[in-house]
Amino acid sequence: MLENGKLWYDTNGGVLHAHGGHILLDKDGYYYWYGEDRRAGVYVSCYRSKDLQNWEFRGHVLTVDSPTQPCRMRTKLALSRDVDDAEYEKYSTIGVNAVIEHRGKKIGKINVERPKVLYCEKTGKYVMWAHYENGKDYSDAAALIATCDTPDGEFVYHGAFNPFGHMSRDCTLFKDEDGTAYFISASRDNLDLHIYRLTPDYMNVAKLVGTPFQAELREAPAVYKKDGKYYMLSSWCTGWAPNQGKWAVADSMDGDWSLLEDFGDETTFDSQPAFVLQKDGRDIYVGDRWGGNGEKFFTSTYIVLEIRYKDGKPYIEFDEKAAW
Ligand code: GAL
């Protein structure tokens, strides 16, 4: 039994690092869980499971050594940056894990957060979108894309960019029943959320179709569809510290969203939304309980709670047991 807020281990006994992540149910019947892993040289790890209890580590699917390949639009293609001795001395000792020695070279890791992966039927590719930063600060505010032919192989990095020139931080992906995919991310220094419809190959933004919650500082978006309506969970903007979660609903992804209403308690039970998993007709909230920066990051845990409804409004109650 997986307990909420405790460290979880994979089937080899390693701590499960899939923070800020996302689960994809593949056609092979496995649930693939992707998430942030800040160990030296690593960006994104992948685990898989059939029962959501026993997680098999499948690999570090995006790392400083991942293959890179340009795509048809202009992107930033480097997966690390050169650092000088002074920067190395400064940052390697304070444990931010953004500056490392790798293959005898001192490098600055970029920062990859909130990776999400969708399968694109049209191209047969697994397409990852994530939040990209330069590893020093949060000024790049860009979206990263990578692809793979299998769910758990080495992803090819296609670079990072600012959608239509906009800032893009906390993010998520949502795939509708007809295969149309959307990328949702925090823009304008996190003041607004943007909803972009993706191109049919999921490799670019096609159109900015919505700008809900103007200046309401929403982060950590998670979108799901229930009975023909679109629900979005999000947090407020307080860094690693948890805050009151909120939900909103819309009739279409490009439509008008309802006013934000509370979801969970004043700290969302000490968590921030990562994603919603739908299984056997149930909607399941997965949140991160963040440890913080540097080494504390690795003490981050997860909480998994079933979303219930009262008068059509989604809510969660805390339970020790992970609800999947
Ligand atoms: C949070 C965000 C996380 C991470 C963190 C860094 O607000 O949701 O993904 O970026 O800030 O402080």
Q: Is the CB of 292 under 6 A from ligand 1?
A: no
Mean pLDDT over each residue of the chain, to the nearest integer: 97
Q: Please write the tens of the pLDDT for every residue from 183-199.
A: 999 999 999 999 999 99
Q: Is 193 exposed, middle or buried (0-12, 13-18, 19+ CB in 10 A)?
A: buried
Identify the pLDDT of residue 285.
99
Q: Is the CB of 170 under 6 A from ligand 1?
A: yes
Nearest CA to ligand 1 atom 1: 239
Beta carbons within 8 Å of 192's beta carbon, 6+ residues apart = 186, 211, 212, 213, 214, 215, 216
Beta carbons within 8 Å of 237's beta carbon, 6+ residues apart = 186, 190, 217, 218, 219
- Which atom of ligand 1 lies closest to the CA of 114? 9
Q: Which helix (H) or strand (E) holds 82?
A: strand 80-82
Q: Please write the tens of the pLDDT for every residue from 288-299.
A: 999 998 889 999
User: What confidence tier does 92 reach under pLDDT thresholds 50, 70, 90?
Assistant: confident
Q: Is the CB of 113 under 6 A from ligand 1?
A: yes
Q: Is the CB of 192 under 6 A from ligand 1?
A: no
Q: How far is the CA of 136 from the centre of ligand 1 (A)?
A: 14
Q: Please write the tens of the pLDDT for every residue from 268-290.
A: 999 999 999 999 999 999 999 99
User: What confidence tier does 95 reach under pLDDT thresholds 50, 70, 90?
Assistant: low
Which residue reads 């049209």 in tokens?
Answer: 122
Q: How far is the CA of 15 from the centre of ligand 1 (A)?
A: 21
**Number of CB atoms found within 10 A of residue 227's CB:** 7
Domains of the chain: 19-315 (2.115.10.20)
Report the distance separating Cα 75 and Cα 143, nearest Å: 10
Q: Is the pTM of this model over 0.75?
A: yes
List, in sequence order, every residue forming a beta bridge with 3; answer none if it has no partner. Answer: 321
What's the rounded mean pLDDT across residues 45-60? 98
Q: Please write the tens of the pLDDT for every residue from 222-233.
A: 999 999 999 999
Q: Please write the tens of the pLDDT for every residue from 16-51.
A: 999 999 999 999 999 999 999 999 999 999 999 999
Is there a contact between 233 and 222 (Cβ–Cβ < 8 Å)? yes
Identify the pLDDT of residue 280.
96
Q: Is the CB of 220 under 6 A from ligand 1?
A: yes
Identify which has the larger pLDDT, 96 or 66. Answer: 66
Q: Is the CB of 146 under 6 A from ligand 1?
A: no
pLDDT exceeds 80 at position 97: no
